[in-house]
Structures are given as C-alpha cells and as structure tokens.
C-alpha cells in the first residue's frame, strides 16, 4: 500500500500539467500553420453532396497482456460524409469552423481497450476493464505534402476517467488502382488511463502479480494502409500497424511485451 501511494505521488506535478500542455501544443501548431494555404479542401467539401458507404472487415490485434487470448473480430463498416458530419465507425466527427487551413471538429470515438479475466490465465482474479466512448476535439490540416491531425479526448464513459492525446502525420501515394498511405503517430495517455487498463489494485495482487500504479505513457505508432479499387465504387484494403509502448505501460506486471501489433482487412462499397 505504501508503495502504491509513493508511486502515485511520483511525478504528480508533471502529469497534472500534461493535458494543458497538450492543448497548448495543439493550439500552437494550428497558429504556426501558414494562412497562405487556401481553404480549397473545406470549400470543396462544403459544395459536395453527402456520401455514404457500407462494408465489412475483420481485425486482429496482438495485445501486450501476458498469455492473452487474441481473437479475430468481424467489423461492420459504415461511412457517411457531408458538410457538417464525418462518420467512419468507430469514430464520428461534428465539423465546426476552420482556422485558416485547419479544420476543427468535435469527435466521439469508441475504443476497444480493456479485457475480461477469462481472456488470459494471468488475468484470473482481475476485475473487468471496460471499453470506453472517448469524447473531445480534433484539428486536421490537409495539404499537398501530408496530412497532419491532432486529437484530445477524455473518457466519456467514466470507466478510467482518463484522457488521451494523439498527433498523426500521413500521406497517400497512388500507383494505378492502388493506394498506399503510411502514417506515423504519437500517443500520450495519462496516469488514470494507464492505471485503469494496466494497473493492479491491492485487492488484485497475487504472487507473481504485484500491485502496480500506472503512470502516464508516451507511445509511438507506425502503420501502412494499402487500398485497391476493384471497381469505381468498390474498394478493398489492408491496414497493418505496430505500437511501441512507453515505460508506464511496459513496467506493468500484466504485460509481457513492449509493443502491440494489428492487422485489418476490409471491403467498402461507396454509394
């Protein structure tokens, strides 16, 4: 118990200021972006009619938890876009105004974090960690060189009571009917998030699974999406990703690896 209290206090001042720092960085980035970039993308989307699509996909993630029973999951795909909203489940945006070339949005995202005790023998005796609906804001800058986006979200379900911040850069290249979109992203998750999903409460501690208080963590992700237009309105895609975790997650006794990988395969028909 004393150890948990000491760890919880360690670095408290730094962590308490991180959400404010993340917001400040996002605002500073938006201010730095040159207004010389015209708002062509926003004007184009405001003139375009609504578009929607339906599809099906399958996803497989290799989570870092010890002896975890990773399973492939079928995913229904629904997309919808007009002047005011952009939906690509499991996320949905309400489009706000633009600041120069930067589009501002309100965002809701359902994340598949969490586990149940029977997902791994090592998790026996642990309380269930639930997935959450995350709510917040996002900023997107699309230009001829690359796309830059940032989002700051809080746990709207109140499970972890945590927050998360993400900055991503990506660019799409084409070769005939193929499209290639590499991406690089930095994720920051706060102490409450890590403590909920990777911490071990005193009541859950066992021999070989000591109590652990989570600390905020900075994680790095690299990914590649390959899409192929099989017909004018039909697309198949493959998305692969790998995420390297920071020490706040790597030091948890619940994990056996310092990274997580994922593969997604899908088909989408746009009407």
> Could you read off the pLDDT of 163-190 as tens digits, one per residue?
999 999 999 999 999 999 999 999 999 9
CATH (domain of 133) = 2.40.230
Strand partners, 93: 86, 107
Report residue 132: phi and psi, to 5°.
-130, 155
Residue whose C-alpha is closest to residue 209's, from 12, 113, 67: 67
**What domain range is 56 assigned to?**
2-270
Q: What are phi and psi of 31, to 5 degrees?
A: -70, -30
* Structural domains counted in the chain: 1
CB atoms within 10 A of CB 145: 8
Q: pLDDT (tens digit, 9 = 90+) per residue, 86-129?
A: 999 899 999 999 999 999 999 999 998 999 999 999 999 999 99
pTM above 0.95, yes or no: no
Q: Is residue 17 pLDDT above 60, yes or no?
A: no
* Calpha distance 225→237 (Å, rounded): 7
């Amino acid at each position: 118990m004393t150890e948990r209290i000491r760890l919880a206090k360690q670095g408290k001042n730094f962590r308490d200021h991180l959400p404010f720092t993340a917001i400040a960085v996002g605002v500073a980035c938006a201010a730095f972006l040159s207004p010389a970039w015209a708002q062509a993308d926003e004007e184009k989307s405001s003139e375009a009619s609504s578009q929607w699509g339906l599809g099906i996909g399958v996803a497989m993630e290799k989570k870092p938890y010890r002896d975890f029973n990773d399973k492939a999951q079928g995913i229904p795909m629904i997309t919808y876009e007009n002047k005011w909203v952009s939906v690509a489940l499991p996320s949905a945006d309400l489009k706000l105004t633009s600041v120069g070339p930067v589009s501002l949005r309100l965002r809701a995202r359902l994340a598949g974090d969490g586990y149940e005790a029977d997902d791994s023998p090592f998790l026996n005796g642990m309380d269930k960690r639930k997935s959450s609906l995350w709510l917040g804001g996002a900023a997107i800058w699309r230009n001829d060189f690359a796309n830059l986006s940032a989002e700051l979200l809080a746990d709207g379900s109140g499970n972890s009571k945590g927050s998360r911040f993400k900055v991503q850069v990506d660019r799409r290249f084409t070769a005939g009917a193929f499209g290639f979109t590499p991406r690089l992203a930095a994720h920051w998750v706060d102490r409450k998030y890590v403590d909920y999903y990777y911490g071990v409460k005193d009541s859950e501690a066992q021999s070989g699974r000591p109590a652990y208080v989570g600390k905020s963590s900075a994680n790095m992700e690299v990914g590649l999406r390959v899409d192929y237009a099989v017909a004018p309105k039909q697309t198949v895609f493959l998305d692969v990703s790998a995420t390297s975790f920071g020490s706040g997650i790597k030091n948890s006794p619940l994990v056996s690896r310092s990274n997580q990988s994922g593969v997604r395969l899908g088909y989408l028909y746009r009407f």
